[in-house]
Amino acid sequence: MKLNSLGLSSIGAKLTLAICSVIALGFGSIVYFYAKQQEKNILLQNERAIQQVLNSVSEGLQTVMITGSADVAELYADKLKGIKDVDDFRIVRTNGLEAFRDNETIHKVNQHRGEADFEPRPTEHEHRVFAADDANLIRAISTQRFVYYYHQQHGLEHLTFLLPIKNVKKCHRCHGKEREVFGVLEFRSALDTVREEVRQTWMQSLLVLAMALAAVLVVATVVLRRYIVRPIEVVSLAMAKVAAGDLNQNIPVIGRDELSLMALSFNKMTGELRDSYAGFNSEHNKLETILMGTDEGIVVTDGSGAVVLVNPAAEFLLDKPSARIVEEGFLRLLDDPQRMECSLEHAGIAGTNDVFLYRQRFLAVYASTLQRADGHMLGHAAIIRDMTKEKRLEQLLRELSNTDALTGLANRRALDETLAREFALAHEQGRELAVLMFDVDHFKKFNDNHGHDQGDRVLKAFAVTTRSYVREVLDTVCRYGGEEFMVIARETSQDGAVILAERIREGIEAMVVDGLRVTTSIGVAGIRETGASTPGELIERADAALYEAKRSGRNRVTAAARGGAA
């Protein structure tokens, strides 16, 4: 996207607009202040001019009145009304009535002088100019000062002046001393001419403002564009390209101002980014090689739980394509969502191993929740390792550790563990339990006469024959040691065990190994019948019964006596 297409939203346009606005505001303020000051001066000059005229008129009237020419004063006032820009000029008494229109003043003067010096007017009329309580009239009379005010009349703006006519010493001869003010001179002028002059001043000021502002804005725009906006656009365009992935950007460094320092910093930053990106790519390639080449399956999700990474080993171990793994989600990796949730809950941040039997494979799953330092979840990760060989080897080792190598029967260790477990269950649940202890009669002489190899073959056949008579699920055949064997008969009473022992004895007696025959003696002990309280005590009772069978002539079955005596 080109920066020019940004229009007014670009920083250059905003900067230019801001600076030009400030300049325009400054010039406008100056011109406004100047025009307002000119307007004030014009109005003030007009007020002073009118005040001087009124003072001259007041002095003229006083001179006329002192000479006793009241008619001339009336004529003088009427003539003033015809002056240009004078809307009204009147001599007003203190009660608001226009003077020289009736005989009130003539009568008062004649009465004061005691002579009929002034002839009354043949006709008279009353003309009220102000209301008797007019505020401006009262202010002028009470303060005996010049008063003026602006007001609207017939849609036009007017300026009215009120000049008090004082009762000076020269007037006392005719009017006496009682009153300080006879009245006021009222002068009213329309402000059309003054306002036109003010308007011309404003027009001239605005014209000057427009011309000066246009010139300044043009210069400011050119300067800003040349030295600020354009360099910023260059930097912005380069940054946009860097953001899009093009790190091969360098900005020309011109001058030694702040923008040149910005360009230097930008070039340094892009150089460091290029170096970092190259290093990142190298590490990324290494990591990808490890992830894709490892035998351990790896599945990773993002913060929302969506699967974002599946390596080939995970596809192979789970026997699923990556698309299916992504579609089904993290919790259904091994088709057991509840167990996966449990694994994650117990794993926490550190994680833990959980072994799944999945599609005839033992898979160790290391599941963990990835979190930032502030506790925000980044996602989940699972490392899957095939432990089938290890589990099978473990099972084989377990079997070897519990199996007698010569006969393939359970060894003494397995016998002790099994008997202890079954003895506890029999006591807890009240079940029957019996053991058979037996060996090969005169086995030492047999070895001496026929050799140990022959003896081993006899023991192997002995184990096979014994196993053929016991129950596969309920009974356990063990090699107790040497030529001694033991059968743990679950859920079997002592009497039932005697019957089993007799079958085994008969089978051994009928057995032929390389043309040779052997016999066996068997001692039987039941947990309920003997009252044995421990597995060791039960074995002792069976061993005592075996000893009794030997003593009685061998090749026979002997049951342990009730209560423990053989």
Residue 505: pLDDT band with limits 50, 70, 90: very high
- Of the segments 143-152, 250-259, 346-355, which one has the largest average pLDDT value? 143-152
Where in the chain are the domains?
13-197, 247-293, 295-391, 403-564
pLDDT band at 241 (very low <50, low <70, confident <90, very high): confident
Query: Domain 295-391, what fold?
Result: Beta-Lactamase (3.30.450)
Give the mean pLDDT of 525-541. 94
**Range picked from 268-277, 324-333, 392-401, 541-550 for highest mean pLDDT:** 541-550
Q: Model-level pTM greater than 0.85?
A: no
* pLDDT tens digit sequence for 509-518: 999 999 999 9
What tokens does 377 get? 């979840």
Does pLDDT of 71 surpass 50? Answer: yes
HEC readout, 240-275: HHHHCCCCCCCCCCCCCCHHHHHHHHHHHHHHHHHH
Q: Which residues contact 255 (CB under 8 A, 6 or more apart)?
A: none
Residue 364: which of 337, 341, 391 has the closest Cα?
391
Q: How many CB atoms lie within 10 A of CB 216?
A: 15
Residue of 546, 543, 541 whose CA lies nearest to 562? 541
Mean pLDDT of the residues in the chain: 81
Q: Report d(CA 153, CA 156) in Å as an integer.
A: 5
Residue 421 reports pLDDT greater than 80: yes
- Show Cβ contacts of residue 195 under 8 Å, excluding neighbours closer than 6 positions: 157
User: In a 3-state reduction of DSSP, which class is residue 381?
Assistant: strand
pLDDT at 4 exceeding the cut of 50? no
* Confidence (pLDDT) at 2: 45
Domains 295-391 and 403-564 share a fold: no
Task: Quote the CA–CA distance of 478 and 59 in Å, as a whole number.
Answer: 154
Q: Is the pLDDT of residue 434 over 60?
A: yes
Identify the residue with better confidence: 165 or 9: 165
In CATH terms, the fold of domain 403-564 is Alpha-Beta Plaits (3.30.70)
Tokens of 182: 């006879």
Residue pLDDT, tens place only, 41-55:
776 776 677 777 667
Specify the CATH number of the domain 13-197: 3.30.450.20
Highest mean pLDDT among 9-18, 251-260, 297-306, 395-404: 297-306
